[in-house]
Amino acid sequence: MTDPVAAQYEALPYPARDPRDERKRLIVGSPSHLDEVNHYVFGGRLDFALPFRALVAGGGTGDATVMLAQQIADRGLPGEVVQLDMSRASRRIAEARVAARGLTNVRFVTGSLLDVGEVAPGPYDYIDCCGVLHHLEDPGAGLRALVEVLAPHGGLGLMVYGMFGRAGVYEVQDLLRRLAPIDEAPEARLAMAKRLVPALPSTNPLVRNPFVRDHVGGGDAGLYDLLLHPRDRAYRVDDVHVLCDEAGLTVLKFIEPCAYDPATYVRDPHLRRVLTDLPPRDRQAAAELLAGNMTKHVFYAAPAAHCVSMPDAADPAVVPVLRRLDAAALARSLRSGSIAVTVGGLDLRFAVPPLAAAIVERIDGRRTVGRIADEVGMGDGTEGAERFRRQFRSLYDVLNGLNELLLRHADATE
């Protein structure tokens, strides 16, 4: 019998992508942005002079593959990106996107993630696996297969669906299985879904959910993937930790970090104190329960026996790096003393220290924290240096919480 998941992605590659768009933009996201990988997985010590081998497991139409390969090429980093996927239709789209960019550091393999050790053997310094494990009959077996081909010093960037932010999705999936059973032709199931979605009453949880929109703007592939997928499960934070524990992994960081901090959502001093005193996993779970908006969990993980320490913001030798924001524009916005952002549909405002603008306008990916301290006139003297450290740490906590400020060690080859 044909695997219904394989058949779906052969008929409707997801997400829908047009290779011609590569002339206009590079899709960048998390996980697998190279600065993030360096910071969270390698502690800011990735040596860009050494070959770097990455696997994108279940690469689909190529978002992570193209992003990683382009960033690696831009830095002149030797090595390759291997994309593994079972869908030949998706592979053709990803290949066309890579070709449109003239990238020569990508290799494509058609096959199952469960057979990765045979069809795309490691070791890999880094593995990306997004939107795949939650579609497997045994997600744990899939993750363990990836760990088997991971280099001892390496790590993974993963994404699985979140439970609470997908309110309404599973109820409508259940309804559609009754109206259009899985054994019906995909075209007939799609037609039924297109009839049903506009007919859903205003009380339906999916209609009331502002965080899930694939059935509205994702085309046929998005609609089918969201509401007609034959195999789909969602995870709570606790489930993510169990999944990783059973594979011998430690969760290094959820993205964006501030979303997994309950203090982000609570202003009452007593509540904040109680929540802050919870063990780390319970704090993350409490944040998920408070927010109620997480449609997915993006996180970095590494073998429990080989985790490295992340860079220390108090170290004057580290180099701050802005992930995607323009330093000058960000500095101007910080002169108000705060930064306003939207995270998961929630409008948030964070206070920043007085030196925030002066620090940010000097972040260029080359200056160290110590040099920035000198340039703002607070590098000398115990009192001045300590004031600078406190302010930089405060700014780092805010911007890294938004996954916008990352660190690398100056002695690592760039």
The C-alpha atoms of residue 357 and residue 361 are separated, in whole angstroms, by 6
Question: What's the confidence (pLDDT) of residue 118?
Answer: 97
Q: Which two tokens stand for residue 72?
A: 């690696």
Reduced to 3 states, what is the DSSP secondary structure of residue 307?
coil
Distance CA 305, CA 253 (A): 16
Spell out a b/e string for 261-288, using b for 16 or more CB atoms within 10 Å of the CB, else e: bbbbbbeeeeeeeebeeeeeeebbbbbb
H helices present in 75-185, as ranges = 88-101, 116-119, 139-148, 169-179
Distance (Å, whole) CA 412 – CA 414: 6
Instruction: Indicate the Cα dihedral angle 278, 284, 290, 295, nearest 10°.
Output: -170
> pTM of the full predicted structure?
0.95
Facing residues of 235 across strands? Answer: 162
Containing H/E element for 373? helix 369-375
User: Is residue 35 a contact partner of residue 311, using CB atoms and an 8 Å limit?
Assistant: no
Q: How far apart are CA 204 and CA 175, in angstroms?
A: 12
In the chain, what are the domain boundaries?
Answer: 4-161+235-306, 164-227, 318-409
Nearest Cα neighbor of 17 from 55, 81, 82, 64 is 64
Which pLDDT belongs to residue 380? 67
End-to-end CA distance of the chain: 50
For 295-351, where are the E strands, in sequence order?
A: 296-303, 318-322, 338-343, 346-351
Nearest partner of 292 among 158, 162, 134, 160, judged by Cα: 162
Q: What angle do CA 259, 395, 313 make, to 5 degrees?
A: 95
Question: What pLDDT is stored for residue 353 in this prediction?
Answer: 96
- Quick one: fold of 4-161+235-306? Rossmann fold (3.40.50)
Q: Identify the pLDDT of residue 1.
A: 41
CA-to-CA separations, 21 to 34, 44, 100, 257, 359, in angstroms, rounded: 22, 32, 9, 31, 36
Q: What is the pLDDT along the chain (414 residues), one digit of tens a residue?
A: 468 899 999 999 999 999 999 999 999 999 999 999 999 999 999 998 899 999 999 999 999 999 999 999 999 999 999 999 999 999 999 999 999 999 999 999 999 999 999 999 999 999 999 999 999 999 999 999 999 999 999 999 999 999 999 999 999 999 999 999 998 989 999 999 999 999 999 999 999 999 999 999 899 999 999 999 999 999 999 999 999 999 999 999 999 999 999 999 999 999 999 999 999 999 999 999 999 999 999 999 999 988 889 999 999 999 999 999 999 999 999 999 999 999 988 999 999 999 999 999 999 999 999 999 999 987 666 778 899 999 999 999 999 999 999 999 987 655
* Residue 345 backbone phi and psi in degrees, to 5: 85, 0
H or E stretch at 152: strand 150-161
Give the distance, in angstroms, between the CA of residue 69 and the centroid of all CA atoms in the same chain. 16
Q: Are 327 and 367 in contact (CB under 8 A)?
A: no
CB contact set of 404 (below 8 Å; sequence gap of 6+): 322, 323, 324, 325
DSSP states of 218-272: SHHHHHHHHHS-SS---B-HHHHHHHHHHTTEEEEEEESGGGG-GGGT---HHHH
